[in-house]
Amino acid sequence: MRLWLFLAALNGLLAVAAGAYGAHWLEVTDSAHRDLFNTGMQYHMWHALALLAVAWLASRPEAAGAQDTPTLCIPVGTHCPELSYSHKLWPVE
């Protein structure tokens, strides 16, 4: 449980830090890119909250599906960075 709680806290910290970067230091003049970055940050925070649920389920081995809780971590690494930093990869025309 402590591992999942640590990962949830770390993920939340990274989401807040990236959101602060996007709000204060990101130099994007196009509103479509800024909206895409904000969407990625919101997804990142939701996944941090999902990791809290993983920590809770990991503390309850009798809960149904507790052995499959690590699969909730997959979207964090695959979707959030793609949305957050796509303004550098794919220009919006």
60-90 pLDDT, tens digit each: 767 655 555 555 555 555 555 555 555 555 5
In a 13 Å sphere around the CA of 15, the CA atoms on its Cβ side amount to 23
Rounded to two decimals, what is the model's pTM? 0.64
CB distance 34 to 92 below 8 Å? no
- Residues 90 and 22: their CA atoms lie apart, in Å, by 17
